[in-house]
Amino acid sequence: MRNIYLNCVKRTEPVIRNPNFARSAKAGARLGFVTQKCNIHSVRNVTAFSKSGADSLRDDFCTKLRGLGAKNIQSRMMGHVVSQRDSRFKKLGKEDLDYFKSVLSESRVLVSKEMGGNADPTELDTFNTDWLSKYVGHSQVVLFPTSAQEVSKVLKYCNENTIAVCVQGGNTGLVGGSVPVFDEVVLSLSKMDKVRSLDKDSGALVCDAGCILESLDDYVGEFGFTMPIDLGAKGSCHIGGNVSTNAGGIRYLRYGSLHGSVLGLEVVLPDGTIINNLSTLRKDSTGYDIKQLFVGAEGTIGVVTGVSIATARRPTSVNVAVLGVNSYQDVKNTYIQSRKDLCEILSAFEFWDARCMDTVLTGFNTSNPLSGDYPFYVLIETSGSNDEHDEAVEKTMENGLVQDGTLAQGKTQISKMWSLREGIPTVLAQTGATYKYDISIPINQLYDIVHDTEVRLENAGIYKKDAAPSENYPVKSVNGYGHIGDGNLHLNIVADKFDDKITDLLEPFVYEWVENVAGSVSAEHGLGIMKPECLKYTKNDQIVSVMRNIKNMFDPNGIMNPYKYLPENK
């Protein structure tokens, strides 16, 4: 017996499942019984799910398991609880592995030792564990196709045999979509990494879906182009993953959505049909633009195997400045003024509050680029073809709202300034357990949610703004930063530890707050396994119902990335 799935669905009622016996037990008293019955000594991976309750029960159970010799025990905090492996899905047998090997060759089928292969556990862990080490799957088989034809054969077979599949790109996604939940076959695109063509006149790039974003940017850079998307994970994430998550990132303000810059896709549907729509044309008005459905589909309706994308001219002149500002109102008005003054050359407008700045300066052991401290900071970037536009940046710095500002001199200073902004999430996470909310809100109200969250936590007596070091509250800080130009706030609440009381105060509060201002509960990270049940706060029943129809149309057997993306159909 390989895996145990422990799902604590309600506070008082943990449900314990294992793939062989699928049995459930009521609370603590029966845990011992279950662990015994499950032959717990051979367990390697244990994932303890928890919706927000049952933490202590889960912790007890994990301790017990550890005592029994289980090594890799993970504990998940997740919004979406999947309590049971879908029994419709076939368990892999030798005949399936033989088929996969016949299509891909032996060397491109990674199989666990327990299933008769050579892969040692750590090798498989890479594919089973997400970037945050927050979600851990239990797959025993990873496939590495190198062409759409191979993907087609694999999917057709899986579809006919009802074998569940989890598509994986660079595995940098932040909502647990890229790792299996139970024993889904992992289909890794990492060996589909060839550039197919670059039109040096138009800048249209066609490549395999598994190309790494940074490699592509380097490649097109040689010809004077730049990718229309950039993000912190660029060294690992795939262009196919970017497309599949409808990723945003720091060039969004300038080059807009992937819905605009993706020119065409090559996609394999679950039934094996290869949809080759790798057009390099900028304009094409012939029928429904079906590729758009795959932008942001997170591997739930097919596999993206090729991407055609419009690259942009690489700007020859880039300027970055950090500004100090007195209030969020001033941040917002500076943004509006900059959009007017800088119009086409404004390429980023990021902000963060004083708490973020303190944390990041301490974390990096560095000094404030400005001479004083301010309630808010802004990073403004311009990029274009004309050096003289520097003056325009300076004009922004001189507007009455900006208290202080410093313009980066040269590339090193530019990247140092960017690292202040980009370092915030990592450094915050180092200071405690971070509750992360990636939300879209109309910019007028963007920072209000930070205040309202503070008030709520203060009223509950678990947080005090600007508490003295001697006062020890469970919530340490409430932080706001993000891409203000895109209306995208990252609300991060740092606590001593993850705690049900805090979670209950934050959820659904945050999601309802977002719903009330017609915001989005996922600005750029997608839904994955984390947010299907939160979809309702942003999309109404009618829309979700159309989504279900689309899912059923492409994937009637539901083999593609099951348990994720759409809420359970009750």
Ligand X SMILES: Cc1cc2nc3c(=O)[nH]c(=O)nc-3n(C[C@H](O)[C@H](O)[C@H](O)COP(=O)(O)OP(=O)(O)OC[C@H]3O[C@@H](n4cnc5c(N)ncnc54)[C@H](O)[C@@H]3O)c2cc1C
Q: What span, in angstroms and rounded, lies between the C-alpha atoms of 298 and 522?
A: 13
**Does the protein bind its own copies through residue 562 (CB under 8 A)?**
no
**Does the protein bind its own copies through residue 88 (CB under 8 A)?**
no
**Does the protein bind ligand X through residue 244 (CB under 6 A)?**
yes
Site for ligand X in 261-280 (CB under 6 A): none
Give the residue, chosen from 47, 50, 188, 246, that forms a contact with its own copies under the rule CB under 8 A: 246
**CA distances from residue 451 to 120, 309, 447, 547 in whole angstroms, order as listed:** 49, 40, 7, 35
Per-position b or e across 364-382, b if 16+ CB within 10 A of its CB: eeeebbbeeebbbbbbbbb
**Does the protein bind ligand X through residue 299 (CB under 6 A)?**
yes
Q: Which of the listed partners (its own copies, ligand X, none) does 431 bind, with a CB threshold of 5 to 8 Å by partner kind?
A: none
Of 148, 26, 161, 28, residue with least CA distance to 90:
161
**Does the protein bind its own copies through residue 313 (CB under 8 A)?**
yes
Q: What span, in angstroms and rounded, lies between the C-alpha atoms of 54 and 551?
A: 33
Going through 385-501 in order, the beta strands assigned E by DSSP cover 402-407, 433-440, 475-483, 488-495
Owner of token pair 């496939």: 143
**Does the protein bind ligand X through residue 561 (CB under 6 A)?**
yes
CA-based end-to-end distance of the chain = 31
Q: Which is nearer to its own copies, 234 or 525 (CB)?
A: 525
> Are 398 and 341 spatial neighbours (Cβ–Cβ below 8 Å)?
no
**Does the protein bind its own copies through residue 432 (CB under 8 A)?**
no
Collapsing DSSP states into helix, strand and coil, what is residue 197?
A: strand
Q: What span, in angstroms and rounded, lies between the C-alpha atoms of 28 and 16?
A: 11
Site for ligand X in 499-528 (CB under 6 A): 524-525, 528
Q: What span, in angstroms and rounded, lies between the C-alpha atoms of 264 and 220?
A: 18
Residue 238 DSSP label: B
Longest dimension (CA), the chain: 74
- State the residue number with the nearest CB to ligand X: 241
Q: What span, in angstroms and rounded, lies between the C-alpha atoms of 351 and 353?
A: 7
**Does the protein bind ligand X through residue 190 (CB under 6 A)?**
no
**CA distances from residue 43 to 15, 39, 204 in whole angstroms, order as listed:** 18, 8, 50
**Does the protein bind ligand X through residue 180 (CB under 6 A)?**
no
Q: Which of the listed partners (ligand X, its own copies, none) does 372 bind, with a CB threshold of 5 to 8 Å by partner kind?
A: none
For the chain, what's the residue count? 570
Least Å from the CB of residue 479 to ligand X: 17
Q: Which of the listed partners (ligand X, its own copies, none) does 40 bind, with a CB threshold of 5 to 8 Å by partner kind?
A: none
> Are 33 and 18 spatial neighbours (Cβ–Cβ below 8 Å)?
no
Least Å from the CB of residue 471 to ligand X: 33
Give the residue, chosen from 173, 306, 324, 384, that forms a contact with ligand X under the rule CB under 6 A: 173
Least Å from the CB of residue 442 to its own copies: 6
**Does the protein bind its own copies through residue 276 (CB under 8 A)?**
yes
Q: Which is nearer to its own copies, 83 or 257 (CB)?
A: 257
Q: What span, in angstroms and rounded, lies between the C-alpha atoms of 106 and 81?
A: 36
Give the residue, chosen from 59, 106, 289, 504, that forms a contact with its own copies under the rule CB under 8 A: 289
> Are 115 and 92 spatial neighbours (Cβ–Cβ below 8 Å)?
yes
Helix (H), strand (E), coil (C) string for 507-528: CCHHHHHHHHCCCECCCCCCCC
**Does the protein bind its own copies through residue 147 (CB under 8 A)?**
no
**Does the protein bind its own copies through residue 279 (CB under 8 A)?**
yes
Q: Which of the listed partners (its own copies, ligand X, none) does 277 bind, with a CB threshold of 5 to 8 Å by partner kind?
A: its own copies
CB-CB neighbours of 281 under 10 Å: 12
**Does the protein bind its own copies through residue 569 (CB under 8 A)?**
no
Site string for ligand X, 130-169 (x = CB under 6 A): -x-----------------------------------xxx
Give the residue, chosen from 221, 224, 235, 556, that forms a contact with its own copies under the rule CB under 8 A: 224
Site for its own copies in 112-131 (CB under 8 A): none
Give the residue, chosen from 232, 256, 474, 567, that forms a contact with ligand X under the rule CB under 6 A: 232
Taking each helix axis from N to C end, the angle separating 328-342 and 390-397, rounded to the nearest 10 degrees, works out to 150
Q: Taking contact as CB under 8 A, which single stretch among the options 36-44, 89-97, 117-125, 512-520 is the one that binds its own copies? A: 512-520
Q: Which of the listed partners (its own copies, ligand X, none) does 516 bind, with a CB threshold of 5 to 8 Å by partner kind?
A: none
Site for its own copies in 459-498 (CB under 8 A): 483, 486-488
Q: Which is nearer to ligand X, 8 or 104 (CB)?
A: 104
Q: Which of the listed partners (ligand X, its own copies, none) does 244 bind, with a CB threshold of 5 to 8 Å by partner kind?
A: ligand X
Site for its own copies in 365-404 (CB under 8 A): 383-386, 388-389, 392
Least Å from the CB of residue 528 to ligand X: 6
Of 38, 36, 39, 16, residue with least CA distance to 26:
16
Q: Which is nearer to ligand X, 55 or 486 (CB)?
A: 486
Least Å from the CB of residue 171 to ligand X: 4
User: What's phi and psi for 430, nearest 5 deg?
Assistant: -75, -20
Give the residue, chosen from 110, 209, 346, 559, that forms a contact with ligand X under the rule CB under 6 A: 209
Instruction: Cis check for the bond before 270: say yes or no (omega within 30 of 0).
Output: no
Q: Is 218 exposed, middle or buried (0-12, 13-18, 19+ CB in 10 A)?
A: exposed
Query: In this structure, what is the dihedral angle of CA atoms 6, 8, 12, 13, given to the nearest 10 degrees?
Result: -60
**Does the protein bind ligand X through residue 177 (CB under 6 A)?**
yes
Least Å from the CB of residue 233 to its own copies: 15
Of 244, 162, 204, residue with least CA distance to 528:
244
Q: Which of the listed partners (ligand X, its own copies, none) does 304 bind, with a CB threshold of 5 to 8 Å by partner kind?
A: ligand X
Give the residue, chosen from 52, 129, 242, 338, that forms a contact with ligand X under the rule CB under 6 A: 242
> Are 283 and 249 spatial neighbours (Cβ–Cβ below 8 Å)?
no
Least Å from the CB of residue 408 to its own copies: 20
Residues that bind ligand X (CB under 6 A): 131, 167-174, 177-178, 189, 209, 231-233, 237-238, 240-242, 244-245, 247-249, 298-299, 303-304, 524-525, 528, 561
